Structure 1
Amino acid sequence: MDLVLEVADHYVFDDLYAKVLPTTLAANIPAKWQNLLGLNGGFSNSTILQETLNSKNAVKECRKFYGQVPFLFDMTTTSFASLLPRSSILREFLSLWVIVTIFGLLLYLFTASLSYVFVFDKSIFNHPRYLKNQMAMEIKLAVSAIPWMSMLTAPWFVMELNGHSKLYMKIDYENHGVRKLIIEYFTFIFFTDCGVYLAHRWLHWPRVYRALHKPHHKWLVCTPFASHSFHPVDGFLQSISYHIYPLILPLHKVSYLILFTFVNFWTVMIHDGQYLSNNPAVNGTACHTVHHLYFNYNYGQFTTLWDRLGGSYRRPDDSLFDPKLRDSKETWDAQVKEVEHFIKEVEGDDNDRVYENDPNTKKNN
């Protein structure tokens, strides 16, 4: 994430922080508070910073002073013109919160919209368990949750920025660096798949489910926009393994960004209602549809391995892969009967769903 932050600092945040919190404000802040908060006021009047107006060497000295080692751009005088220097943990947190929120919202809306237009099976709109105004509710919950999930995520990136991870940049081609790079992708998937399974299964404990996970299970049949429609703590807890991995195992910085993006694509994909494969090893859309319909099965993210080991795997019905059977009244009636059984088992009478297409269960507004 330091690569992303460096680009953002260079093009946006250096100027923004210099305007909002210029070093001239230091005169109004006691020196002890400047030191305690890691502010830039005491350094703002130093000879080194004054020399940066004319000397490239002074910029290098400033970089040494703050311990910054840019990968992509050298620093400029603006990099040192704010009361909050780049090395400030407070600034790192605020900047990363903004970046992760914006990136998360754009990635969610972009990928879910693409899926909706080109992939999503819109016959789901006719399903008797599709909710009234469901897609709007999915989007509203996701858009409101992503900033809070980003706030909980940002401290992990701050730890990585400050050296508390095994992320690396340089590839050692002479010592099978490329092979190690490829292996990292497989170990990341293996590790995080286990982490998501454990977190997800814990979220189905009755008290935890009612407190955190129930909002995501409001959607019995999903659109791509359900992919990020979580209680923010729920979404964060299911992502923890993605942040633990680089703390304990080596991972290339660029690979981390690629995998982080891939996880979001995958999350959208397994909610798109398009059943392209019934591979018994892959926890694809059909497996996740089973989870939303019947609650207590298929907790995994990428594979069915951990569900098989944990006794929670349920093979998707063959009818999901036959368009004629999938959308038939007989199939939907059978699903509804079983769905109602699991709703009663998991949620009891605490069911506030208003269905769009089932006059027998539709509630009055």
Structure 2
Amino acid sequence: MDIPMTSPTSTPPHLVIAGGGTGGHLFPGVAVAQAFERLAPGARVTFVGTERGIEARVVPGLGYDLERVDVVGLKGSGALGVMRGLSRLPRSGLQARSIIKRLAPSVVVSVGGYAAGPITLAASLSGVPTALMEQNAIPGLTNKLLARVVTHAFLTFEESAPHLGGVSFSVPGNPVREELLKLAHTFAYEAPAAEGPFRVLIIGGSGGAGSFNEHLPGWFKAMGDLQTRLEVRHQAGRNRAEAVRPRYEGFGGQVQVEEFIDDMAEAYRWCDLLICRAGATTIAEVLNLGLPAIYVPFPQAADDHQRFNARSVVEAGAGVMLNDAELGSERAVNLLSGLMRNPESLLRIAAAARRIGRPDAAETIAARLLAMAGKDLP
């Protein structure tokens, strides 16, 4: 669909990326920021989030400015949480208006998460071109509301569109960070030898996954003689690694338990199989690299969106889905045993994943944001 553009200007563009909270929201924004700067040297990028979100730790380390708003989520926070959140809305609205006035951005894009709401709304009311990026098949509450005021929506799954009203949309895919794109250009998955080491990477998202921490050690210890082939790297989440390590006692393979993996490119390169949640950002990274994965949708995800995310991948033969309640079950043991004994199946999954990856998503979105800002490409 056509996107309204502004007249070209010679002033360096200023992109504001609003939202975050989790890596699934933040990292696609980082990918777009990197692409925006590549396409428009001299451009400025500012992130807006909260003190509590992952952006407070990650964004400054990447060299970007971070503005903060005092806002909390409403959905799923209970009656008291809703009242507390509503009481902060006037303050966050004033903060957002002040930030937009001071920064004078050329264009604002929401990456989702409750912090995106006040800034994107303030920008729209101020006449600044606005857009949203929706990573999941079922959009989050903030983006559903913002779809009423933004100019355009960039989608990962076309199934998202009916949930966003009549907003203009395109489907460029979910952006992947620059360091992972560089790896994707040089990386070619190789299946492990039938009797050699089998490296499993466990990623539960930026906050870890409680059920992974509870059930995966027992799953691996139930693998019988195949245990000795297993080399496991387990991201447990902040302040959770010490509790997880004892659960691997008696495991016949090798294991490394970490709170958080900063170098995901290296971790992806290392593994033969990934066990992960079905967040859209993780899926995009895995598909672009062409890695075989077992997707375990988070059962408490809003509107069960992770199951819908994983379903489209599984239907393309680009991954396997396992229910959270099945972790450590006989089906889980048989599934992992089958993959370990059949390297050809891993290669088929990896090839299908690579076919449906969208490595150009970040640059496609960045180019359209530049056009919305009235900036001609070099």
* Band of TM-score, shorter chain: under 0.3
Which structure shows the bigger proportion of residues in helix conformation? 1
Which structure shows the bigger proportion of residues in strand conformation? 2
Structure-1-length-normalised TM-score: 0.21
Structure-2-length-normalised TM-score: 0.21
